[in-house]
Amino acid sequence: MIIDKPIYDRQEEIINNGKRYRIHNNYLCLGGGFLNSSIRKDIQKSINVDYQFHIRRQHFQTGLVISGNAFTGNNNSQLHIGYGLRKETQKINLAFFIGITGVTGVQTISDSLGIKPLFYDGYGAYSSIQLIKKITYDMGFGVEFFGEISQVQNIIGAKMILFFSSSFRGNKRNFNPHVKSENKR
Q: What is the pLDDT of residue 185?
A: 46
What percent of the chain is modeled with pLDDT above 70?
90
Integer angstrom CA distances of residue 168 from 23, 48, 70, 106: 10, 24, 36, 42
Residues whose CB is less than 8 angstroms from the CB of residue 167 and which lie 6 or more positions away in sequence, other chains included: 21, 22, 23, 25, 27, 137, 138
**Statement: the pTM of the whole predicted model exceeds 0.85:** no
User: In Å, how far are 22, 68, 111 from 115, measured between CA atoms?
Assistant: 55, 18, 6
Laid out side by side, the sheet with 168-171 consists of 13-16, 19-22, 168-171
pLDDT tops 80 at residue 180: no
Query: Does the domain spanning 25-168 belong to CATH 1.20.1080.10?
Result: no
What stretches of the chain show up as alpha helix (H) in DSSP?
Answer: none
Instruction: Give the start-to-end residue ranges of the domains of the chain.
Output: 25-168
Cβ neighbours, 10 Å, residue 123: 11
For 136-159, write each residue's pLDDT tens digit. Answer: 888 999 999 999 999 889 999 999
The pLDDT of residue 1 is: 57
pLDDT tens digits, one per residue of 78-112: 999 999 999 988 899 999 999 999 999 988 777 77
Residue partners of 134: CB distance under 8 A and separation at least 6? 90, 91, 92, 93, 140, 163
Q: 7 pLDDT exceeds 60?
A: yes
